[in-house]
Amino acid sequence: TGRRRTWTLEEKLALVAEMERSGNIAAFSRERDVSTSLLYTWRRELRYAVEARQLPPHPDPMFVPVLEKAPAPACTSADGMVEIEIAGALVRIGQAVRTDLAVAVIHALRGAKAEDRP
């Protein structure tokens, strides 16, 4: 405890695969000396990566309408942050975000919006 370790991608994938087969994740994490929250984070990141790969490629740029309600967002153009509101959710996308991840988030929110309709 209290130490930082560096995990390779292969180690992360192997642990997540083992965790999925485990009946008791808390016991599994204790046996492997890995926090349960870290295992869940790796599993979530793996799911996002799989979903992003399944999205059809978009050769043309995608545009999302921007609606300004009250005052302008607190972020400035200097920090490179963009705020998008879709289906009642506010998403902040920074300069360093991977394009495929940003596209996956936007598609997920659009899907949630379509499901909410009667």
Per residue of the chain (118 residues), what is the pLDDT tens digit?
A: 567 889 999 999 999 999 989 889 999 999 999 999 999 999 999 998 888 777 776 666 666 777 766 555 454 445 678 888 877 778 888 888 888 888 888 888 777 555 444 4
The DSSP 8-state label assigned to residue 49 in this structure reads: H
Give the chain's largest Cα–Cα span.
52
The full set of domain ranges for the chain reads 9-54, 77-116
Say if pTM beats, i.e. exceeds, 0.75: no
Neighbouring C-beta atoms of residue 105, cutoff 10 Å: 19
Q: What's the pLDDT score for residue 117?
A: 43
Backbone angles phi, psi at 93, to 5 degrees: -115, 120
Whole-number pLDDT of residue 11: 93
